[in-house]
């Protein structure tokens, strides 16, 4: 039986771990990020991968820093046939990669070499791409730079956000991995080096990147709303009040108003102008200190003060 050390953290990695279990790979241990405080009440929470590992009675390692840790040495001492990683969240030291008998394989949520880094799905949606995908690569010391073992494209639908795309990609990644690993094990595969001239990076989203720019077209503003949902959620400042925009929709309408102006306001609809005369319908939002609310509730509350023609976002 092929032995595997699995390393992953978010929900994206859970179907991949479960797929390996279902196919009777011998999972020696699972390595995931330490329990973290989450939510407004900062309750300590286990990662989705840890929850899945515990449910399957698998040993779990959670080093704060993998390099040089006792947990890393334990993985090395296993000398597994394979290491499989899926959004683990830390670099794997060379010493650890060298301890693998067959290969260390990463399941990456993009069509490499486009979008190396920690936020590939977010950048694909935010840039208005029509597709993203899964790349299986050999792990090397340099981030997401290993030779490509297999790839599969996945369309991005107009209503997809980061959460829905991760759900789709996790299933595609699971199936592609399970179809490819037997060839990796037997050596019946021809890895393809990445084209260095086509490399695009996708670093983690910084807080200053969460603000929407209404000088961009409505399509691009909405793309960012979708890319940053459900976390961290994009925001704008409406009449001086920081407001998260959870959901919006591009409207087939044009305007000559300055970006960020109220184009139309009814009891159930708020249309704002964006760049190049485009128009965006705001559907769900969250003013600072308030719960998330539908646009109708907002317009019956704080939104009552908004006036048609007023530039509320500057």
Q: What is the DSSP string of 219-245?
A: HHHHHHHHHTTTTT--EEEETTEEEEE
List phi, psi (to 5°) of 256: -105, 5
**Secondary structure class of 114 (helix, strand, coil):** strand
Q: What is the pLDDT of residue 38?
A: 80
List phi, psi (to 5°) of 208: -70, -10
Q: What is the mean pLDDT of residues 82-110?
A: 96
Q: Do the Cβ atoms of 306 and 239 come closer than 8 Å? A: yes
pLDDT exceeds cutoff 80 at 39: no
Q: What is the pLDDT of residue 43?
A: 87
Predicted confidence (pLDDT) per residue in 111-150, tens digit: 999 999 999 999 999 999 999 999 999 999 899 999 999 9
pLDDT exceeds cutoff 80 at 171: yes
pLDDT exceeds cutoff 90 at 158: yes
Q: How many degrees, rounded to 5, is the angle at CA 96 between CA 94 and CA 98?
A: 70
Q: Do the Cβ atoms of 71 and 63 come closer than 8 Å? A: yes
**Alpha carbon distance 63, 14 (integer Å):** 19
Residue in the structure block whose two tokens are 């499989």: 84
**Alpha carbon distance 230, 207 (integer Å):** 15
Q: What is the mean pLDDT of residues 187-202?
A: 96
Q: What is the DSSP string of 192-225?
A: B---GGG-EE-PPPPGGGSB--TTS-HHHHHHHH
Q: Do 3-186 and 209-311 agree at the fold level?
A: no
Predicted confidence (pLDDT) per residue in 54-84, tens digit: 999 999 999 999 999 999 999 999 999 999 9
> Domains of the chain: which residue ranges?
3-186, 209-311
Q: What is the mean pLDDT of residues 187-196?
A: 96
Using N-to-C axis directions, what is the helix angle for 14-22 and 48-55, rounded to 10°? 20
**Secondary structure class of 104 (helix, strand, coil):** strand
**Alpha carbon distance 255, 135 (integer Å):** 42
% of the chain at pLDDT higher than 70:
100
Q: What is the pLDDT of residue 219?
A: 98
- Round the average pLDDT of the chain to a whole number and report it: 96
The first and second tokens of residue 169, run together, are 């990609």
**Secondary structure class of 258 (helix, strand, coil):** coil
Q: What is the pLDDT of residue 41?
A: 74
* Range 209-311: architecture per CATH: Roll (3.10)
Question: Residue ranges for the binding site for (6S)-5,6,7,8-tetrahydrofolate?
Answer: 110-113
The first and second tokens of residue 255, run together, are 């305007």
Predicted confidence (pLDDT) per residue in 244-302, tens digit: 999 999 999 999 999 999 999 999 999 999 999 999 999 999 999 999 999 999 999 99
Question: Residue ranges for the binding site?
Answer: 110-113
Instruction: Provide the CATH number for the domain formed by 3-186 in this structure.
Output: 3.40.50.170
pLDDT exceeds cutoff 90 at 28: yes
Among 182, 178, 106, 103, which Cα is nearest to 145's?
106
Q: What is the pLDDT of residue 42?
A: 82
Q: What is the pLDDT of residue 147?
A: 98
Among 166, 136, 167, 163, which Cα is nearest to 152's?
136
Among 305, 293, 158, which Cα is nearest to 283's?
293
Q: Which pairing describes strands 60-61 and 82-86: parallel, antiparallel, or unpaired?
A: unpaired
Say how many Å lie between the first and final Cα of the chain, rounded. Answer: 62
| pLDDT class of 314 with cuts at 50, 70, 90 | confident
Facing residues of 108 across strands?
A: 135
| pLDDT class of 233 with cuts at 50, 70, 90 | very high
Q: What is the mean pLDDT of residues 48-58?
A: 98
């Amino acid at each position: 039986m092929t032995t595997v050390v699995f390393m992953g953290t978010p929900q994206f990695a859970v179907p991949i771990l479960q797929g390996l279990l279902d196919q009777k790979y011998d999972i020696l241990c699972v390595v995931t990020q330490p329990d973290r405080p989450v939510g407004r009440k900062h309750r300590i929470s286990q990662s989705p991968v840890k929850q899945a590992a515990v449910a399957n009675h698998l040993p779990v390692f959670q080093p704060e820093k993998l390099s040089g840790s006792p947990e890393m040495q334990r993985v090395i001492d296993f000398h597994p046939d394979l290491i499989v990683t899926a959004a683990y969240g830390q670099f794997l030291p060379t010493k650890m990669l060298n301890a693998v008998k067959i290969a260390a394989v990463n399941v990456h949520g993009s069509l490499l070499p486009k979008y190396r880094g920690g936020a590939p799905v977010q950048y694909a949606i935010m840039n208005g791409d029509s597709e993203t995908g899964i790349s299986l690569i050999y792990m090397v010391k340099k981030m997401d730079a290993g030779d490509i073992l297999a790839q599969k494209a996945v369309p991005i639908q107009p209503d997809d956000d980061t959460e829905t795309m991760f759900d789709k990609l996790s299933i595609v990644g699971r199936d592609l991995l399970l179809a490819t690993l037997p060839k990796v094990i037997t050596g019946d595969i021809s890895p393809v080096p990445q084209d260095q001239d086509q490399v695009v990076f996708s670093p983690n989203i910084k807080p200053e990147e969460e603000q929407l720019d209404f000088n961009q077209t409505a399509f691009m503003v909405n793309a960012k709303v979708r890319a940053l949902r459900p976390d961290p959620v994009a925001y704008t400042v409406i009449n001086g009040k920081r407001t998260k925009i959870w959901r919006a929709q591009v409207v087939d309408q044009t305007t000559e108003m300055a970006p960020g102006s109220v184009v139309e306001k009814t009891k159930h609809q708020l249309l704002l102008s964006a760049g190049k005369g485009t128009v965006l319908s705001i559907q769900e939002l969250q003013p600072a200190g308030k719960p998330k609310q539908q646009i109708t509730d907002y317009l019956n509350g704080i939104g009552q003060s908004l006036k048609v023609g007023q530039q509320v976002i500057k």
